[in-house]
Structure 1
């Protein structure tokens, strides 16, 4: 990397050298670790319940606490990166995540586990947005797109490989390794980051911390996600869940009013939505997250209840979607992301997802080979959405605003996944209660997924129709 890169300034070169690629892989390693942990523990909930002598509903708080901490921490990532420097915040987030992981492995009760998962989630919530903003700033606009084709697929892989990794660990080791596995990965990522990731200085003109916005936004997101998650669970408390959703929506509405009227820079600036490419990009990313996370909720449940597979076997059946995402990212998106209009890539991606979702509406008639092929195509389509969308934002936003934009995109991904999962869970339960067999109920849920994708396809026409290189 050149001297300019070592000072944190973007290098307007189109060549991706080995050091820059290695740096991006290090940042991806941290992001993947945090994203994977959000799903890997779900496989071990029953085992944890036996270990602590608690009901699965009590142990479920281990997953809920992590998710709530993630969405509470993510909005602050932009301000922290500006105030202390992105690399310092990223390293601190990895350290906090590792401390939380070790504490979780040493937990002695469900209560202590939930508390330590909050600590872990605070670090995990900072990692993806800080890492992506750091990568975009160091790479510069000429190379951000191709690097984002590597980074952008990571959040989509977590719900695919999480159950498989969790099942494998429980087969060969104790439940503690659901958390201890993060330690070697995190330490390697930190050591390599100190060597490879350049220091990005803190901003000289940092706005005061938006305390009022933080008081409204973080609790509002946490309440909304909690309510949606509880609505999607089988043992839900409907009154509590609806109350939490209403409180969360009210706090978020109050934050919106505050952010629009504030003379200072808000924690997350909704005025970014005035920019047509940004608003269309947010819609595409939201629906893609809802589709991927929602499908990864529905399919394991169907494979275990409808086809009698174990959790490990179900995870193995879902792996082709991750393989398709990696292949599409490296073989399709990476060489085309700067030469083809974003709208073209995203539209083709949604067409592939729609084509691969249609067979899922008839799962009872879909053989295993057909399901594998369907998930491969779905994975390729998914890879063609996230990276071009992030490239639109990162290549069009002023360098000083990168941390704030990255924070907003991470929130869209988290909330989209939670809304998709909870909405489909409620729809599935209603369909089962109304009557009909399991196959018909899952078919209805996947028709809903199909409708979401068609809506996103229509909205994607607003994306830029000029390639980043031509712009």
Structure 2
């Protein structure tokens, strides 16, 4: 199938048909397989760190790079997703990204040392970084403006499930098979995705005017993001000097990219002006803070359950599962209301639910019952589902179809960086609260330190709410 087919989004708009039919749901399911693999793989390895450390004879600090290298590769690849889709077509870019991800997965399973595994994780992350943004942009163009909100509300639940499913799936695999299956499990899923996509996913044409690749921007933005995320991860590992160098260097390169993006006569890799265009700026802030809240909380809670309560990775995963169930229920609710309720109302309500669901965690020092944790997580899950899909619908339905790939890349990039930023910030707060209670800290003191840290998650919610007040009240669409 050629990438020169008629634009699906234009055909959808001509009919002004907002129904999400079976063929579109099938396309959404196929494309979400790529997002599922990429997002789950970001966390699936976390439960296998000890196993990998023992098998390769490496320290935990060295083997931690298995996770860090994947994250750095992801943030390096995301900025280029828009240009690649414009240049080669969204469907072709998505298929190649799945292929690169599968090749990286296979090589990871065959790794013979910690170093080789880290290198292959970089390759895997380069493919995985392209999948969510390219898949979202492709789906938005196929669905058209009238159906984007409903279909995005269905597929956006997958990134919300990944922080829960990753450790749970990883623990289940390691309970029944050796560590290479953490990566081999991707092969049948990816192979099915490629076969189904070649048959059922229609081609979306590449951009009519091919813009040159922004080499200077790529030399500043992708490495700058990688260096910044590296600095943030070093903060969470308690290494101040490399953290300071990484954060300062990353911010400097990002500042230089912003100047370049504003001055260049060509199309930049990510246009800084996009963030000043309403409602993109407010939407970007909401997704940035959502990423900080989701991934930050999913960093804190498993750590608390395993260190503060002595649960295994599998038991922790089961206790975290209600958040996934809440997200699934929330996506159903959003699917039925996204075209009827104002975007601002949905997003502010979602933030409020996350706030309410986080409050109980500020009381962990009082031995919060498991049932209370499960209910709070379910409420948070519903709230998270009410933010992502409406925000993406706001953006995708108000920009020209040709701009969707680059906008999708920018939104996914902010969500990823927000997750890194939130995790690093909460790790620093947690370390300070633990240190404040002395070297001989006991179980109740550990719980109290985690409770103190969750107050900062509430601060994230307030910041997101401030940005959400700038979102549109009505469903004004671009003619």
TM tier, shorter chain? over 0.9
Partner of 1:175 in structure 2? 179
Q: Which residue of structure 1 aligns with residue 441 of structure 2?
A: none
What residue number does 1:348 align with? 349
Alpha-carbon deviation of 1:434?
A: 1.8
* Contact in 1 for aligned 2:398/2:477 (Cα 8 Å): no
1:222 corresponds to which of 223, 226, 238:
226
- Tell me which residue corresponds to 2:362: 361
Q: Does 1:460 align with 2:468?
A: yes
Aligned with 1:396: secondary structure?
coil
Among 231, 241, 244, the residue aligned to 2:243: 241
SS of residue in 1 equivalent to 2:279: helix
Task: Please report the TM-score for the alignment, with normalisation by the length of structure 2.
Answer: 0.95
Equivalence for 2:334? 333
Deviation at 1:452, TM superposition (A): 1.1
Deviation string 1:27-78 (CA, Å, 9 cap, x unpaired) is 1111111010000011101000111111111111111111111100110010
Q: CA deviation at 1:469?
A: 7.6
Structure 1, residues 177-210: CA drift from partner, whole Å, max 9, x if none? 0000000000001111011110112222021100
CA distance in 2, matches of 1:258, 1:470: 29
Q: 1:23 aligned to 2:22?
A: no
Count of aligned pairs between the two proteins: 465
Unaligned 5+ runs, structure 2: 439-444
Instruction: Work out whether residues 328 and 383 of structure 1, in 8 Å CA contact, stay in contact via their aligned partners in 2.
Output: yes
The corresponding residue for 1:9 is 8
Paired with 1:51 and 1:399, the residues of 2 have a C-alpha distance of 49
Alignment of 1:144-223 (within 5 A): 144-223=148-227
Partner of 2:401: 399
Q: Contact 2:327 / 2:381 at 8 angstroms: preserved in 1? A: yes
Structure-to-structure mapping, 1:27-38, within 5 angstroms? 27-38=31-42
Cα distance per residue 1:144-195 (max 9 Å; x no partner): 0001101222212111111101000000111000000000000001111011
1:95-174 map, 5 Å: 95-174=99-178
Aligned to 2:448: 440
Distance 1:137 1:255, change over 3 A: same
Residue 470 of structure 1 and its aligned partner are, at CA, apart by 11
Normalised by the length of structure 1, the TM-score is: 0.97
**Would you identify which runs of 4 or more consecutive aligned residues in structure 1 move more than 4 Å?**
468-471
Provide the rounded CA distance (Å) in 1 between the counterparts of 2:373 and 2:300. 14
Shift of 1:450: 0.5
Q: What residue is the counterpart of 1:390 in the other structure? A: 392
Please state how far the C-alpha of 1:114 moved relative to its aligned partner. Answer: 0.4
| Alignment correspondent of 2:442 | none
Per-residue CA distance 1:380-399 (angstroms, 9 max, x = gap) = 00000000000000001111
CA RMSD of aligned residues (A): 1.5
Are 1:207 and 1:264, in contact at CA under 8 Å, matched by a contact in 2? yes
Give the C-alpha shift of residue 237 in structure 1. 2.8
Matches of 1:74 and 1:162, distance apart in 2: 21
2:292 aligned to 282, 290, 293, which one? 290
Task: Please give the alpha-carbon distance, in whole angstroms, between the structure 2 residues aligned to 1:369 and 1:467.
Answer: 39
- 1:346/1:460 contact within 8 Å kept: yes
What's the CA shift string for 1:327-382, capped at 9, x where partnerless?
1101x100111111100000110111111111110013310111111100110000
Mark the runs of 5 or more structure 1 residues left unpaired by the alignment.
none
**Are the aligned partners of 2:161 and 2:324 in contact in 1 as well (CA < 8 Å)?**
yes
Q: Which is further off, 450-459 or 247-256?
A: 450-459
**What's the counterpart of residue 300 of structure 1?**
302
| Alignment deviations for residues 101-123 of structure 1 (CA, whole Å, 9 cap, x no partner) | 00000000000000000000000
Q: Which moved more, 1:436-445 or 1:425-434?
A: 436-445
Distance between the aligned counterparts of 1:15 and 1:362, measured in 2? 45
Q: Measure the CA separation in 1 of the matches of 2:289 and 2:242.
A: 26
Q: Cα distance, 1:468 vs. partner?
A: 5.5
Deviation sequence 1:215-243 (CA, Å, 0-9, x none): 0001000000011011102xx43211210
Q: 1:416: how far off?
A: 0.3
Offset of residue 459 of structure 1: 2.0
